[in-house]
Structure formats: structure tokens, C-alpha cells
Amino acid sequence: MAQGQVPIEKIYENNNFFSMPDNKPAVKGHSLVISKKHFENALELPVSLGSELLDCIKQTSVKILEQTKSDGFNVVNNNFKSAGQVVNHIHFHILPRKTNDGFKLDFCSVGK
């Protein structure tokens, strides 16, 4: 995908990251921010790429918020199988949210 060999709809792109709609969205506008270089998880991602990662997350979120007319968003990154990581390539989920949308990310029940 990063090399353009698989056609995708890119939302935003910079030198090291790109974003695209999730192919199985949890909510309308659910998108992914993906590293162009292979890093299996957040612990492998060099700190030097932090500003470009944040740039891609911010630019993607602004576009999605406008498109979906949402008033908030979640950024989710799963690391390792026990935390729900299924794809072994670093990526971040952007989930646009609306007040009282009914979608729950329930962190309060974790560990109870």
C-alpha cells in the first residue's frame, strides 16, 4: 500500500506516514494512520518520527471531523496480541465521535 502497488484512497500523506479509511470501520469515518516503513509496534518506532506521526494524525483527524461533522475523536494503537494487535505493522486508528453516539471504548472495565 505504501509503495502505491495496491490502490487505496489516501486521506493524507507525508514522508513517513499515510492515512486511509479502514476497510471494516467501527464507526463512520474510521481511518488508519500507517507507517510507510515497517515497524511491528510502537516500541520499534523511532522517536525521531514522532513529529511526522503527530502531523499525520492531526491532519487526518481534521479532515475526518469535517467530513463526518463529528465533535470529537479517539486515537487507538494496539501493541502485541494481548492488547488486541492483529496486524503486525504499526498503525493508529482514528475514530470520529459524536456526542451520545453510543460507541464505547470502555477503559474503566479493564483489569476488573
Of 40, 41, 33, the C-alpha closest to 16 is: 33
**Catalytic annotation on 91?**
yes
Q: How many CB atoms lie within 10 A of CB 98?
A: 15
Q: Of 38, 89, 91, 93, which is the active-site residue?
A: 91
- Please name the amino acid found at residue 51: S
Active site residues: 91
